[in-house]
Every structure is written in structure tokens, then in C-alpha cells.
Structure 1
Amino acid sequence: MAEREGPRLDVPRTPRRSLLPEYDPDVFGRTSERIARFLGTGRFLVWMTVVIVAWVGWNVVVPDPLKFDRYPFIFLTLALSLQASYAAPLILLAQNRQDDRDRVNLEQDRSRNERSIADTEFLTREIASLRMGLGEVATRDWIRSELQELVRELGQPPPSDRNDQDH
């Protein structure tokens, strides 16, 4: 056989090096959920308020050479915009992951519910067949009443209960 040039289909390709950083999407998702959960707490609001009050207080009270962000507080505005630009996508990512979990839980609940309905229908059919079967079984009372009818038909007095005969 002649050697064929080109890639072989029976050998896995070697992984290509990428210029983009590699990351685990699950770890990134869990981290973004933790951040989003923290951004929605009172603790975050308190810390953010403390930082902003300290920032503004420092830049208003201290002498001019020590101020790092004068009155219009442009650097503070930039920092808050940067924080907001990262917070919004992280919150959306966390919400998407929660929606995916909710969808999976809903599907599992739906399938569990379908199995429960099928089991209930099966048990209902089984109980109905048992009732039908029990309707054809001779019970002690039925046999006793049939025997009493036969004794009456023969013209003899009905037998007394066993308790009466023992005394």
C-alpha cells in the first residue's frame, strides 16, 4: 500500500496552543455566583458606603498635597463605573446558571411526577383487579348463609351456634 499524505483519522490530533487563556467554566461560574451573592448583601452595601465616605472625606479634609482625587472625584467615578461594569455581567452569569439549575430541577420534578402518576395508575388497576377477584371469593358469612338456606330447604331447623353447643 502506498503511504497516504495528510492527517490520519485513526490518530488523535495534538492540541493546539491558543493565545487565549484557558479556564474551567464551572470554577469561573461558581466564583461569579459567589461574587454576585456578595454584591447582593447588606455587608457589601455597608463596605461600599464606608469606602466612598472615607474616599470623599479624605479628599475633602486633608491638605492639598495629600489629596489624590480632587472635588469632582473623577477617579472615584471611574472606580465605581469599573466595579459596575464587572458586576452586571457577573450577576447575569449567576442568574443564567441559576436558570439552568432551575430548568434541570423542573425536568426532574416533571419526570418524577410522571413516574408517580404511572405508579398510581398501576396500583389503582391492581386494587381494582383484587376487588374483582375478592368479589368471586366465598367468604365465611356467604357460606354460612348458603348452608342455612339449604337446611331451610330441607325443612330442618337451622343449627345453633357452636358457642351454644359447648354449654
Structure 2
Amino acid sequence: MSPERTRSRLDTPRTRRRGFGWHVDSDLVGVYSEKLARFLGTGRYLAIQTVVVVVWIALNLAAVSIRWDPYPFILLNLAFSTQAAYAAPLILLAQNRQETRDRIAIEEDRVRAEQTKADTEFLARELAAVRLAVGDTVTRDYLRRELDDLLSELRSALADGDAEDDRPRRS
């Protein structure tokens, strides 16, 4: 197939994309969006925004000669709308990145829990084997009791033997 025919087919991707020549690193954008989202959720940001709004309104109400945004404060509303239009996607991006980190952490915790469970089961089996092995070994008390029983039997056998020696023997 000729190269011109290949380029015109819809099932063959183009080798080079047309459009802007610059590429943005999505991780870098994500990092900065998280920083901005964290800042937007602080009391410091709310205090700064409140001061700016109060100064904005005061200047537009008090300074008659420099009113750049008269009473309905349309420019201020436009600024808030623009801020919301940028803040919402950045906050969503930060939440998505956090969700991904949480999913990875949960997976790592699950793998660690499985390994811990397997280790615990192994140790339980080993402990049971040790208990069985210890159960088969002779303990000091068991040996002492057996020797005492044997000694008692020997004494009674010797006592019976002495009693037989004292009897007259029949020939």
C-alpha cells in the first residue's frame, strides 16, 4: 500500500499529532494543583479573600472618583466565578490523585495483611509441632515419678524375696 493511501485510512494512526508543540507533565500539574487545593482550604486563604473583598467593596462605595466596579459589583462576581471555574477542577484533580494514593496504600496494606496472616499461620503450625515434640520428650518430673515407681517395685520385690528366704525351703 502506498504511503498516501495509508495516511488516508481511518484505522491507521497518524505518526505525528498536529496541534501545539508543547507537552505538559501531568504529574507536575497534579503536584501544583494539590498545593493550590490545600491552600484554598486554609483559614489563611479565607482571611486574605475576606480582606480583599472588604477593601474592594469599601473602595468602590467610598471613593466616588475611582469607582471601577459600581454597586452590583459585577467585576467582583466575575472574579469569583473565574476563581471557582479554576478552583473546582484543581480540587477534583487533587482528590483524584489522593484517591489513587489511597487505593495504592490499601492494596499494600492488603498484601501486608496477607503476609502477616501467612506468617502467623506458619508460626502456629511450628508452635504446634514444637508442642508435640515436647510432649514426646521426657520431663524431669515424669522421669522422677517413673524412677520412684521403679524403686517402690524393687523394694517390694526385695521385701518379698527376703520373706521367701526366711521360710523354710522344701527340698
Question: Where do 5+ consecutive residues of structure 1 fail to align?
Answer: 7-13, 158-167
Aligned: 1:77 with 2:77: yes
CA deviation string 1:109-165 (max 9, x = no partner): 1111111111111000000000000001011221221111111111269xxxxxxxx
What's the RMSD between the two structures over aligned residues?
Answer: 2.3
Aligned partner letter, 2:31: R
Distance in structure 2 (CA, Å) of the matches to 1:93 and 1:124: 46
Question: Where do 5+ consecutive residues of structure 2 fail to align?
Answer: 4-14, 158-171
Secondary structure of 1:21 counterpart: coil
Aligned partner letter, 1:46: A
Q: Please report how far the alpha carbon of residue 16 of structure 1 lies from its aligned counterpart in structure 2 after TM superposition.
A: 5.9
The aligned residue for residue 23 of structure 1 is: 24
Q: Please report how far the alpha carbon of residue 43 of structure 1 lies from its aligned counterpart in structure 2 after TM superposition.
A: 0.7
Distance in structure 2 (CA, Å) of the matches to 1:156 and 1:24: 97
CA deviation string 1:49-106 (max 9, x = no partner): 1111111111111133x22112221111111100010011111111111111111111
Distance in structure 2 (CA, Å) of the matches to 1:68 and 1:85: 23
The aligned residue for residue 94 of structure 1 is: 94
TM-score normalized by structure 1? 0.80
Secondary structure of 1:155 counterpart: helix
Q: How many residues align?
A: 148
Distance in structure 1 (CA, Å) of the matches to 2:144 and 2:23: 86
The aligned residue for residue 135 of structure 2 is: 135
Inter-CA distance 26–53: structure 2 relative to 1 (3 Å threshold): same
Secondary structure of 2:69 counterpart: coil
Aligned partner letter, 1:154: L
Aligned partner letter, 1:39: L
Aligned: 1:35 with 2:36: yes
The aligned residue for residue 60 of structure 2 is: 59
Give identity over the alignment, percent: 52
Inter-CA distance 134–15: structure 2 relative to 1 (3 Å threshold): farther
Distance in structure 2 (CA, Å) of the matches to 1:92 and 1:128: 53
Greater C-alpha radius of gyration: 2
Distance in structure 2 (CA, Å) of the matches to 1:16 and 1:69: 45
Distance in structure 2 (CA, Å) of the matches to 1:137 and 1:15: 78
The aligned residue for residue 119 of structure 2 is: 119
Q: Identify the structure with the greater helix proportion.
A: 2
Distance in structure 1 (CA, Å) of the matches to 2:18 and 2:138: 83
Distance in structure 2 (CA, Å) of the matches to 1:74 and 1:16: 41
Q: Please report how far the alpha carbon of residue 21 of structure 1 lies from its aligned counterpart in structure 2 after TM superposition.
A: 3.3
The aligned residue for residue 11 of structure 1 is: none
Distance in structure 1 (CA, Å) of the matches to 2:73 and 2:141: 98
